[in-house]
C-alpha cells in the first residue's frame, strides 16, 4: 500500500508538470491567434514546438510508463484510475512517434496556421499548399504508426471522438441527409420566405459587443475566469479552469456573425469553467471529446440563441443598443430572418438546416486526402464541386471556399465530423432536458441558470471522466440517435416557413 501511495504522488507530480507546460502552451497559442505581430510568428512557432516537445517527452517518459504499470487497476482513487487509463492511451499513441518528428510537426502546424491567415487574406491557396501537403503526409504517417493499414482516417477520427468510426458517421450522416433533403426542397419552394436583408444594416462593433457581453452574463460565463477578444476565426481556449478565454469576429454589416459566434464560443467556455475542480491538473480537466464540446456550443447557439423565446425576452435589450434601422422591425419578421434557410459559402455563417451539409463536404474531402484518393493540389476544385453538389452554390474564390477554415492548416484532420456529431448530441440532450423542465419557459424568463445548471450536472462536471458515447447514453437513456436532430429541425422550420 505504501508503494502505491508513493507512486500516486509521483504520478500526480508528473501530471502537474505536464499540465504546467500545457498551460504555457495554451497561453502562447492564444496570443498567436489574437495579438502577436506578424513578424513574431516564426519564432513563436519554434517556442510552441519546444513546449509541445516537452509535453510529448513527459507523456512518453519511462517515469510515466512506470506510473501507468504500477497504478493500473491498483489505485483506489477513481479519478487517478481514470487518469491512468487516459495516460496509457496517450502513452501508447505518443510513444510511437519519434520525439524529433513530433516537434517538427508541431512547429509546422504553427507556421502553417500563420501562413493560412496570409493565404486567406490574399486568396492564394498555392501559398498554403506546400504546408498542407506536409501536414497530410505527417498525418498519414502517424496513422500508420498507430496501426492503420487501409482506413487511416479512423485513427485520426479517434483522436477527437473516441469510439466513433467512419462506419457510424456514414450511417448517421446519411440519416440526417435523407431526413432533411425533402424539407430543404419544400422550403426553397415555400410561398412565405423570410427576408434577411432587414438584418444587414450598419451595427457598430461596440454596440454588438455590449449586447454579446450581456448574453454571456445571462449564460453564466464567469468573467473573473475569462475574457472576450477579437480574432479572424473565433475560438475558445481553456488555459486552466479559472482562465477560459473566448474570441469572436465582428461584421458591422451583419451582427449575426458576432452575436451567434460569441454565444457559440460561450457554450464551449461554460463546459471548461464548470468542470469539477477535483480534476484540475489532470488530463481529465477538459471536454471528453470534440463532439461533446460542440454539443455544448451548438446547444447554446441554436437551441437557445436562435429560439423564439430567446428573442422575446432579449428584444428590448437588443433594440436598446441597435441603430435606428432596427427599431421598427416586426418581431416575427426578425425571428424568421434570424432563422432564414439559405445556402451560404461560409460554414460559420450557415443556417441550422444546411450546416450539416458543410460538415459532410469537409468530412468527405479529408477522408479522401488521408486515404489517398485526393491530392492537396486538387483540393480547391474538389471543394467547389462538392459545395455545388450539396448546397447548389459554387464559390468564386478560395477565400469563400477551401481557405475559410483554420482547421486543416493546424493539422486537425478528423476534427470536422465533431461539429455534426455535436449537433446530433445537442438535439438528443435538448430532447432529454425537455422531459425534465419547460426549456422554452426557462429561456423566456431571461434567467438561463437552470439550463447551465442542468448541463453542468449532466455533462460539464465530468470533464473527461466518461467517454462520449457512454455519457450520451447515460444522460439520455439511448445511444447516438440522429432522429432527434431531424425531428427538431423539421418541426422548427415547418413552422417558420408555414409548411
∠ CA 42-48-49, rounded to 5°: 90
Task: Determine if residue 102 is labeled as part of a ligand binding site.
Answer: no
CA quadruple 442, 448, 453, 454: dihedral, nearest 10: 40
Name the helix (H) or strand (E) containing 379.
helix 379-391
CA distance 246 to 236: 4
Among candidates 489, 471, 479, 473, which has minimal Cα distance to 427? 489
Does residue 5 contact residue 13 with C-beta atoms inside 8 Å?
no
CA distance 42 to 58: 25
Does residue 274 contact residue 460 with C-beta atoms inside 8 Å?
yes
Name the helix (H) or strand (E) containing 285.
none
CA distance 434 to 310: 16
Does residue 241 contact residue 272 with C-beta atoms inside 8 Å?
yes
Active-site entry in 113, 161, 209, 265: 265
Does residue 248 contact residue 230 with C-beta atoms inside 8 Å?
yes
| DSSP-derived 3-state class of residue 194 | coil
Name the helix (H) or strand (E) containing 436.
helix 417-436
Among candidates 15, 26, 283, 300, which has minimal Cα distance to 162? 283
CA distance 370 to 414: 10
User: In angstroms, how far is CA 36 from the centroid of its own chain?
Assistant: 23
Which residues share a beta bridge with 248? 230
Task: Determine if residue 268 is labeled as part of a ligand binding site.
Answer: yes
CA distance 139 to 157: 11
Does residue 53 contact residue 102 with C-beta atoms inside 8 Å?
yes
- How far are the Cα atoms of 22, 92, 93, 141, 279 from residue 54, in angstroms, in the given order? 9, 17, 16, 21, 22
Active site residue 265: yes
- How far are the Cα atoms of 4, 49, 206, 302, 355 from residue 199, in angstroms, in the given order? 63, 44, 17, 18, 20
Instruction: Pick out the residues of the known binding site for Zn(2+).
Output: 264, 268, 294
User: What are the residue numbers of the active site?
Assistant: 265
Amino acid at each position: 500500500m505504501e508503494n502505491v501511495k508513493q507512486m500516486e504522488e509521483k504520478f500526480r507530480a508528473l501530471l502537474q508538470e505536464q499540465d504546467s507546460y500545457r498551460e504555457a502552451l495554451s497561453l502562447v497559442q492564444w496570443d498567436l491567434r489574437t495579438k502577436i505581430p506578424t513578424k513574431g510568428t516564426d519564432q513563436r512557432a519554434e517556442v510552441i514546438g519546444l513546449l509541445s516537445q516537452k509535453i510529448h517527452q513527459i507523456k512518453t517518459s519511462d517515469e510515466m510508463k512506470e506510473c501507468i504499470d504500477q497504478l493500473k487497476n491498483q489505485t483506489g482513487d477513481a479519478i487517478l484510475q481514470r487518469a491512468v487509463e487516459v495516460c496509457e492511451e496517450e502513452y501508447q499513441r505518443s510513444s510511437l512517434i519519434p520525439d524529433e518528428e513530433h516537434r517538427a510537426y508541431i512547429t509546422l502546424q504553427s507556421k502553417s496556421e500563420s501562413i493560412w491567415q496570409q493565404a486567406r487574406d490574399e486568396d492564394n491557396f498555392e501559398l498554403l499548399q506546400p504546408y498542407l501537403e506536409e501536414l497530410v503526409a505527417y498525418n498519414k504517417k502517424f496513422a500508420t504508426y498507430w496501426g492503420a493499414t487501409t482506413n487511416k482516417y479512423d485513427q485520426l477520427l479517434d483522436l477527437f471522438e473516441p469510439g466513433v468510426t467512419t462506419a457510424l458517421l456514414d450511417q448517421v450522416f446519411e440519416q440526417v441527409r435523407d431526413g432533411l433533403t425533402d424539407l430543404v426542397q419544400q422550403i426553397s419552394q415555400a410561398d412565405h420566405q423570410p427576408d434577411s436583408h432587414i438584418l444587414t444594416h450598419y451595427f457598430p462593433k461596440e454596440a454588438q459587443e455590449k449586447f454579446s457581453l450581456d448574453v454571456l452574463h445571462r449564460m453564466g460565463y464567469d468573467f473573473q475566469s475569462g475574457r472576450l477578444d477579437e480574432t479572424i476565426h473565433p475560438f475558445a481556449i481553456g488555459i486552466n479552469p479559472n482562465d477560459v478565454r473566448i474570441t469572436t469576429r465582428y461584421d458591422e454589416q451583419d451582427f449575426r456573425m458576432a452575436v451567434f459566434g460569441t454565444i457559440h464560443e460561450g457554450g464551449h467556455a461554460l463546459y471548461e469553467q464548470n468542470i469539477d475542480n477535483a480534476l484540475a491538473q489532470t488530463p481529465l480537466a477538459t471536454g471528453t471529446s470534440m463532439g461533446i464540446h460542440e454539443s455544448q456550443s451548438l446547444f447554446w447557439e441554436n437551441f437557445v440563441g436562435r429560439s423564439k423565446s430567446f428573442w422575446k425576452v432579449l428584444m428590448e435589450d437588443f433594440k436598446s443598443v441597435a441603430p435606428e434601422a432596427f427599431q421598427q422591425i416586426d418581431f416575427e419578421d426578425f425571428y424568421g430572418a434570424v432563422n432564414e434557410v439559405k445556402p451560404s459559402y461560409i460554414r460559420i455563417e450557415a443556417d441550422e438546416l444546411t450546416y450539416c451539409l458543410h460538415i459532410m463536404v469537409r468530412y468527405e474531402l479529408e477522408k479522401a486526402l488521408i486515404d489517398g484518393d485526393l491530392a492537396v493540389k486538387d483540393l480547391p476544385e474538389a471543394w467547389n464541386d462538392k459545395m455545388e453538389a450539396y448546397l447548389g452554390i459554387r464559390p468564386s474564390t478560395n477565400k469563400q471556399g477551401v481557405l475559410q477554415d483554420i482547421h486543416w492548416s493546424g493539422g486537425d484532420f478528423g476534427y470536422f465530423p465533431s461539429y455534426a456529431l455535436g449537433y446530433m448530441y445537442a438535439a438528443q440532450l435538448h430532447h432529454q432536458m425537455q422531459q425534465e423542465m419547460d426549456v422554452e419557459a426557462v429561456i423566456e424568463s431571461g434567467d438561463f441558470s437552470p439550463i447551465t445548471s442542468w448541463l453542468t450536472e449532466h455533462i460539464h462536471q465530468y470533464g473527461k471522466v466518461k467517454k462520449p458515447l457512454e455519457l450520451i447514453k447515460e444522460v439520455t437513456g439511448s445511444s447516438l440517435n440522429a432522429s432527434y436532430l431531424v425531428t427538431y429541425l423539421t418541426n422548427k422550420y415547418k413552422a417558420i416557413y408555414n409548411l
